[in-house]
Amino acid sequence: MTHFDDYATKYHTVRMERRDGILQMTFHTDGGPLQWGLLPHGEFPQAFRDVGSDPENKVVILTGTGETYSGPRAAGGTGMRSTPAQWDRVYWEGKQLLTSLLDIEVPMIAAINGPAWRHSEIPLLCDIVLAADDVQFQDSAHFPNGMVPGDGMHIVYPLLLGWNRGRYFLLTGQTLDAKKALELGLVSELLPRADLLPRAWALAEHLAQQPTLLLRYTRVLFTQPLKKLLLEHLGYGLALEGMSVVDRTVTPGT
């Protein structure tokens, strides 16, 4: 087990605050909007593991900083390069990123504060998904950028959008605006940015009134089918993604 004081200030890319059992995790880069890279890729699995191991957490809120939830929006042709040994870190952390998220056995609320260009599957795996009314979703980092979308995108988006819409989204680099995200069920509520966190906290406070075991076991029930999908497909997807990255690395002229 962990305690809040053990991890509250431990991470460079996650700011923590807790009140009455409700933990808010705010993602950031140097106090501004989160810029995805190896630092958050390594820190998030550890942070999720700490949060999930703390019995004092009753509800968790995930949110970002400023007007963007996660970036930067990748430019075509700038996909990463890596040797197999270097990719092994990404492979290991990529599996832990989502499995440790689902191992948080209390209800989770996403408050997506703006466009989510990178790793938008993370907030979409929460139990309640709220978003600012200018939110946008795009998988800018993978197929349009020369990489197999195998780090969970290939599981989450076809699951949430439907098989055909999910594949179209991943292959074309489609951008979904707020209205479309609500219509397709990616989010449950759209709010002005100023109202987003107050609404998330109001929902969290309502949930936190329930008995602890009711909260925990409901989350366990909701995440079990997702864990099965990750167990079957996440490692394989990351391996194929790694092969596409290594191919860029060793193929002349790419």
Catalytic residue positions, numbered: 121
Q: Are strands 14-19 and 22-27 parallel, antiparallel or unpaired?
A: antiparallel
Burial category of 151 from C-beta neighbours within 10 Å (exposed 0-12, middle 13-18, buried 19 and up)? buried
Helix (H, G, I), strand (E, B) or coil at 40: helix
Neighbours of 71 (CB within 10 A): 20
CB 84 within 8 A of CB 243: no
Alpha-carbon span 130 to 18, nearest angstrom: 19
> How far, in whole angstroms, is CA 106 from its chain's centroid?
16
Residues across the chain: 254
What end-to-end distance do the CA atoms of the chain give, in Å? Answer: 47
CB 196 within 8 A of CB 113: yes
Alpha-carbon span 117 to 68, nearest angstrom: 9
Q: Computed over its alpha carbons, how large is the radius of gyration of the chain?
A: 18
Alpha-carbon span 27 to 40, nearest angstrom: 9
Close Cβ partners of 171 (under 8 Å, ≥ 6 residues apart):
143
